[in-house]
């Protein structure tokens, strides 16, 4: 069986380390990266979750698609897409020995190895949180009350005959989302920087994009 490294090297010329790929955005994580996260080599505070139903760019086929499951990604640096682990001056990865699977497979001049694995075995929040008593229940509850599909449906209804009811439902979801984020920080004493991994990006930040992609 070929290792990921062998698979990547077989595909063609080696990486020139120009940093361009890393500047375009951090990778999504796969189950092969689970140990790197659980050991703290890739800390949770540097991750965020794209939740099922969110609109994402398909980097292999191109175009926009809806995420079918969690996509856990490495955050960008200071409001940019540039991976938080890129040492910009040196054009070097600060976690090179522990870089995620997609970074090991990526070769911009021979993308086949990454394309084959791109959608396979993505890491989910459940993989990392299921055994943490109480926390997974909270994340699951938030997912049910504030699912992207439910929010999208209510946004669509907010200009129809059920407008008032739909606007009330959207308002409830936004308030619940904000409440649960505060709760884990203030009562649970969790690092505020891991909140976007636990619950995805704030609903208030997603609403404008959801309106746009739903033609509202």
Q: Which residues bind ligand SF4 (CB under 6 A)?
A: 22, 26-27, 74, 83, 85-86, 93, 95, 99-100, 103
Which one, 30 or 181, has the nearer CB to ligand SF4? 30
**φ, ψ for residue 204 (rounded to 5)?**
-60, -30
**Shortest Cβ distance from residue 35 to ligand SF4 (Å)?**
15
Which one, 37 or 95, has the nearer CB to ligand SF4? 95
Which one, 14 or 213, has the nearer CB to ligand SF4? 14
Task: Answer whether 178's CB lies under 8 Å from 205's CB.
Answer: no
Question: The dihedral of CA 67, 85, 44, 48: what is its sign?
Answer: negative
Q: In the chain, which ranges are continuous DSSP H helix? A: 4-10, 20-24, 34-38, 101-105, 112-117, 125-129, 135-145, 148-157, 163-186, 195-198, 203-213
**Shortest Cβ distance from residue 30 to ligand SF4 (Å)?**
13
Distance, CA of 198 to CA of 2 (rounded, Å): 34
DSSP single-letter state for residue 159? T
Which one, 78 or 187, has the nearer CB to ligand SF4? 78
**Shortest Cβ distance from residue 25 to ligand SF4 (Å)?**
8
- Cα dihedral angle (163, 201, 135, 175), rounded to 10 degrees? -30
**Shortest Cβ distance from residue 29 to ligand SF4 (Å)?**
10
Which one, 117 or 181, has the nearer CB to ligand SF4? 117
**Shortest Cβ distance from residue 41 to ligand SF4 (Å)?**
11
């Amino acid at each position: 069986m070929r290792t990921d490294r062998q698979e990547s090297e077989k595909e063609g010329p080696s990486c020139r380390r120009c940093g361009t790929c890393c500047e375009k955005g951090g990778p999504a994580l796969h189950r092969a990266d689970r140990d790197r996260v659980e050991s703290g080599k890739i800390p949770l505070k540097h991750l965020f979750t794209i939740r099922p139903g969110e609109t994402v760019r398909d980097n292999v086929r191109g175009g926009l698609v809806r995420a079918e499951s969690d996509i856990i990604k490495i955050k960008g640096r200071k409001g940019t897409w540039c991976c938080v682990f890129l040492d910009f001056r040196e054009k070097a990865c600060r976690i090179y020995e522990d870089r995620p699977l997609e970074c090991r497979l990526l070769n911009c001049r021979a993308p086949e190895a990454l394309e084959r694995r791109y959608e396979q075995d993505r890491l989910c929040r459940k993989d990392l949180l299921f055994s943490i008593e109480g926390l997974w229940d909270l994340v699951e509850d938030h997912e049910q009350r504030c699912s992207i599909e439910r929010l999208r449906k209510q946004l669509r209804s907010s200009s129809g005959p059920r407008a008032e009811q739909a606007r009330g439902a959207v308002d409830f979801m936004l308030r619940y989302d904000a409440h649960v984020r505060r709760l884990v920080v203030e009562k649970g004493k969790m690092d505020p920087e891991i909140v976007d991994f636990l619950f995805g990006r704030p609903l208030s930040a997603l609403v404008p994009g959801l309106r746009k992609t739903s033609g509202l």
